[in-house]
Structure 1
Amino acid sequence: MALLALGLNHVTAPLDLREKVAFGPEQARAAVEELAAQAGIEEALILSTCNRTELYCSVADGAQIVPAQWLHKHHQLNLGRLDEFLYRHDNEAAVRHMFRVATGLDSLILGEPQILGQVKDAYQLARAARTLKAPMERMLQHTFAVAKRVRTDTRIGASPVSVAYTAVRLAEQRFADLAGACVLLIGAGETIELAARHLSDAKVRRLIVANRTLDHAQSLAHRCGGYAIGLNDLPAHLAEADIVISSTASREPVLTRAMVEAALKARRRKPMFLVDIAVPRDIEADVAKVDDAYLYTIDDLRQVIDENLRSREAAAREAEAIIDLQVERYMAWRRALDRGNPVQDLRRQAETERDEVLARATAMLARGRSAEEALAFLANTLTNKLLHAPSANLRAAALRGDGELIQAAARLFDRAAANDDKDA
C-alpha cells in the first residue's frame, strides 16, 4: 500500500482555478467519504484552504491515478484540465510534504500558524468520516508532534506574520492613516479575528464586523470594540468603509460590483481599499475595474515585503532538519508495519496451537480418559509444539557456527539473566 499526496496550491495554480477545486466546510465530509469509497483507495484525507487543495490517500498498487481522476470528476472538470497544475508526492515525499505544510514551510506566508489548525480540522473530519486507518492516523499524529517541536525549537513563529497580518500591513501601506479609517471586516472566522486584533492594536477609528450569523459578528465585535451587522445590511454600511477585508466560506461573492459602485457614489468618489483573502473569492473580480476601488486578492499579498521574513527563513532551515529526522522515523515505523508485527504473528501462532491441543485434550476427556492423562498430554504436546521450531533452528545454528543467532536467542529468552541468578 502506497501513500500519495496530490494537490495544487498558490505556487502551482492561479486563484480562479483554486476556486474551482476548493471544498467548502459543508461539502468536505461527503467529499472525503466519496474519495475513500473509490476502488483502490484504502484511506483518505482532504485538506482545502484558501491557498491549497490536497488529497492524501493510501492507495493499492495500480490505483495511483484514481485520486486525480476523482478530483476532476467531483468538480465536473474535463479529464486532464488540472494536470499541469497538480503536484504529486509518493511515500516518503508525501510524508515530508505533509510535515512541511503543517509547519507552515509550504505556506504563502512562511511559517504562518493557521495552517496547523486547518490540518487538524481536516484530520478530525476524516476521523468522523472513518476514512483513516493505522498508517495515516499515525502519520497525522506524527505531523502534529513535528509541528509542535518546530514551533518550540525554532523561531519560525516568533514574528507576527500571517495572511491576516499581511492584509493589515498592506492596508497600512496603501492607506496612510489607519487611526483615521473606518474598517469593514466581512466574516467572523479565525483569519478575520486575527485581522480585527491587528486593527484594534492600530487603533482604527471605527471597526464594523459583518457576518451571515449576527451572533458571531456581535461576539467578535464585542471582543475588538467594533459594531456588528448582518450580511444583509452590507449595502447600507458599505459607504462608511475606507478599508474592507473579507474572508468568508461563501461559495458566491458577498460584495458585487454594483454594491461597490453605489457605495463609492455615496462616498463622492472617496477611494475604497478592499482586500479579499477568501477562496472562493468574496468580492467580484470586476470590482478591480471600478475607478477609486483598489482591490487586492490573496495572491497579491505575496508582493508585500515583510521585514521579519529573513529571520523566518533562518528558522525554516532549522525546521527542515527536524522534519528530515522525523520523516525517517515515521518511515521506519511504516516499513516495520509493511513487514508485519513479529510479536503479533508469534502470539497468533501460539494461540492457534494452544486451541488445537486444547481441543484434543477435551476430546480425550469426552472418551473417558482421566483428567491427569489429559493434562499431561496438554502440557507435553503444547510445550513440544511451541519449542519445536526455535529448538530446530538453534541446533542448526550451532552446527553452522552461527553465534549471533545463539546470542540473540539468549537475550530474547533472557537466559543470560537466568544463569546469572543461578550462579548467584
Structure 2
Amino acid sequence: MYCVISFSHKHLDISIRERIAFPQSELKQFYTKLFSSFSFIQECILLSTCNRFELLLVVNSKDVKSIVEWIASYRDISLSQLQSGVQLLFEDEALDHIFSVASSLDSLVLGETQITGQLKNAYKTSYEFGFCKKELTRAMHFAFKCAALIRSQTQISKSPTSVASVAIAHFLNLNPQKKKVVVVGTGEIGILCVKYLLSHGFEVLLLSRTLDHACAIKQELNDDRIDIASFANLTEIINSHPYLFCATGAPHAIITKDMIKTCSFQRIWFDLALPRDIQPLEEENIALFVIDDLQEVVVENKNKREEELQKARGMICQQVKLFRQWLASLDVEPLIKAFREKAKQCCIDEVSRAIKKGFLDSAEEEKVMRIMHNAFNKFLHHPTTYIKTIKENPESDFIVENIQKLFDLRGKEVFNNPYKCEKHLKYDEEGK
C-alpha cells in the first residue's frame, strides 16, 4: 500500500524540521539503515527540503508509527516533538498528497515550481540507489503528469512566485532605505534573491564559498550592480551592511552569535535556508526572519488564487481516480481471463454462424467446439505463461497496455508507456 509520513511547515516548527533534514551525502546511509530496520518497507523516496521532510513509501503494514519512533532516535529528537507534527497518510490520501506536492499545491508558496524539480531529484536518487522500484515509479510519473496538467490548464503557476520572491516582497514592505543588499549563497534561492533585488533597483553584494561560482553568476546576469566578496569576509560584511539574505546548503549555522557586533543601525536579515544559516538571535537591532515568518504574504497569495486552487484540487482528485483505474487495468489475471474469453466467444460465434449457414451440422457442434477450444488453448498457452512471469517486472506495465490494445480489450484511451508520461487525459471541469 502507498503511505506518506510527512513533517512539513504546516505542522512542525522550523527548529525541529532543520534537525531531521538530510544532506545529500547522508542519503544512502539513511536509506540503508531504514530498510534494514523495517522489513515491511518495500520502497521509499525521501523528500527533504526547506519546508518538508517526507517519506513516500510502499509498505505491507500500517504499523508505520514505529518509523516515526526510529527517526526520533536516529536524529536524537524527542519523540513527543515529532509526534505532534507528523501526518500519516495511506492509499488514496497518500496519493492525493504526493500529487499535490508535485503540483506545488502543498507548498509554502502556492504555485512555485521548485518543488517539482526537488521531487524529481529525490525520485531519481532513490531509484538509482535501488530503494524506489515499480510501485513508486508508477505513482511518481503520474504525479509529474498531473503537475504538468495543472500548470497548463490552470493559472496556479502563472506569474510564478517562490520563497525568494515572498521574502523580497516582505522585505520591501519594511521600507528599506539603503540600496545595497548582501546575499550569501549561490544556490537556486540565492540566485533568485539576486534577480529580484536587482529588478527592484537594489545593488547586491554576493558571497559564495566558491568565489569562481559567484563570478560566473555575475557574468551570466551581466549586471554592474553586482559586487563579489570573499566568504572569508563574512564577519566584517554582516556588521557593516544593514540588509542580508542568506540561503546556503551548509549543514550548520554559518552566522553565529559570536560573529555579531553592536552596530548603530537597524539590520534586517532573512534566513531562507534549512538547516538555518543564522543562529537564533535576540539582538534588539536585528530583525531576523526565517521561512516560517513569511506566512502573512503566503496567505495573501493563496487567497488571490483560491478559485484556481479549487480547480487544481478537482484535477488532482480526478487524476488519483484515473491512476487507480489504470493500476487495476494492469492486473494480469483479469487480462488473461479477458483475452481467453474473447477467444472462446470468437469460437462460439463462428460455430453458430457455420450452423446457421448450413456449413456445419448442429449435431457436430460440441465436437467442433472442443477441437477449437483445444487449438486456442495451445495457441494461448505461451502468452498466458509469459504474462504471469513478467507481472513483477517494471516493463510489464508497457507490455500489458499493448496487449490490451492488440486484443482490443479496453474501450478507453491507452496510456502509452506511462514511465515516459507521454499522454494525459483532458480534465473534465465537471468532474465527469
| TM-score in terms of structure 1 length | 0.76
Q: Which amino acid aligns with 1:219?
A: A
Cα distance, 1:270 vs. partner? Answer: 1.2
Query: Which of the pair has more CA radius of gyration?
Result: 1
Name the SS for the 2:182 alignment partner.
Answer: strand
Which residue of the partner structure matches residue 238 of structure 1? Answer: 238
Is residue 282 of structure 1 aligned with residue 281 of structure 2?
A: no
| TM-score in terms of structure 2 length | 0.74
Q: Where do 1:213-224 residues align within 5 Å?
A: 213-224=210-221
Q: Which amino acid aligns with 1:290?
A: E
Which residue of the partner structure matches residue 273 of structure 1? Answer: 268
- In terms of mean alpha carbon deviation, does 168-177 or 299-308 score higher? 299-308
> Hey, what's the Cα distance between the residues in 1 that align with 2:312 and 2:372?
58
Q: Which digits, 9 at most, give the CA deviation of each residue in 1:27-86, with x for residues without a partner?
A: 223323433443111100001111110001111135533432332232133545411210
Q: Which amino acid aligns with 2:140?
A: L
Cα distance, 1:229 vs. partner? Answer: 2.8
Which residue of the partner structure matches residue 12 of structure 1? Answer: 11
Q: Which digits, 9 at most, give the CA deviation of each residue in 1:308-367, with x for residues without a partner?
A: 543322211111111011001112233345x445557999xxxxxxxxxxxxxxxxxxxx
**Equivalent of 2:378 in 386, 400, 406:** 386
CA gap 1:277/1:345 in 2 versus in 1, 3 angstroms: farther
**Equivalent of 1:317 in 310, 313, 324:** 310
Alpha carbons 2:182, 2:205 under 8 Å: kept: yes
RMSD: 2.9
Alpha carbons 2:179, 2:201 under 8 Å: kept: no
Which residue of the partner structure matches residue 27 of structure 1? Answer: 26
Which residue of the partner structure matches residue 366 of structure 2? Answer: none
Q: Which amino acid aligns with 2:95?
A: V
Query: Unpaired runs of 5+ in structure 2?
Result: 340-370, 382-405, 410-432
Q: Which amino acid aligns with 1:210?
A: L
Which residue of the partner structure matches residue 196 of structure 1? Answer: 194
> Hey, what's the Cα distance between the residues in 2 that align with 1:28 and 1:79?
22
Which residue of the partner structure matches residue 169 of structure 2? Answer: 169
Which residue of the partner structure matches residue 296 of structure 1? Answer: 289
Q: Return structure 1 stretches of 4+ with deviation > 6 angstroms.
A: 344-347, 379-382, 411-414
CA gap 1:233/1:197 in 2 versus in 1, 3 angstroms: same
**Equivalent of 1:187 in 185, 188, 195:** 185
User: Greater share of helix residues, 1 or 2?
Assistant: 1
> Hey, what's the Cα distance between the residues in 1 that align with 2:372 and 2:104?
62
Name the SS for the 2:56 alignment partner.
Answer: strand
Alpha carbons 1:217, 1:230 under 8 Å: kept: no
Which residue of the partner structure matches residue 328 of structure 2? Answer: 335
Which residue of the partner structure matches residue 250 of structure 2? Answer: 250
Question: How many pairs are equivalent?
Answer: 351
Which residue of the partner structure matches residue 114 of structure 2? Answer: 114
> Hey, what's the Cα distance between the residues in 1 that align with 2:380 and 2:322?
36
Q: Which amino acid aligns with 1:212?
A: R
Q: Which amino acid aligns with 1:270?
A: F
Alpha carbons 2:113, 2:160 under 8 Å: kept: no
Q: Where do 1:329-368 residues align within 5 Å?
A: 329-337=322-330, 339-343=331-335
> Hey, what's the Cα distance between the residues in 2 that align with 1:413 and 1:254?
63
CA gap 1:232/1:323 in 2 versus in 1, 3 angstroms: same
Which residue of the partner structure matches residue 346 of structure 2? Answer: none
> Hey, what's the Cα distance between the residues in 1 that align with 2:29 and 2:231?
27
Which residue of the partner structure matches residue 353 of structure 1? Answer: none
Query: Unpaired runs of 5+ in structure 1?
Result: 348-378, 390-410, 415-424
> Hey, what's the Cα distance between the residues in 2 that align with 1:102 and 1:317?
16
Name the SS for the 2:214 alignment partner.
Answer: helix
Which residue of the partner structure matches residue 71 of structure 2? Answer: 71
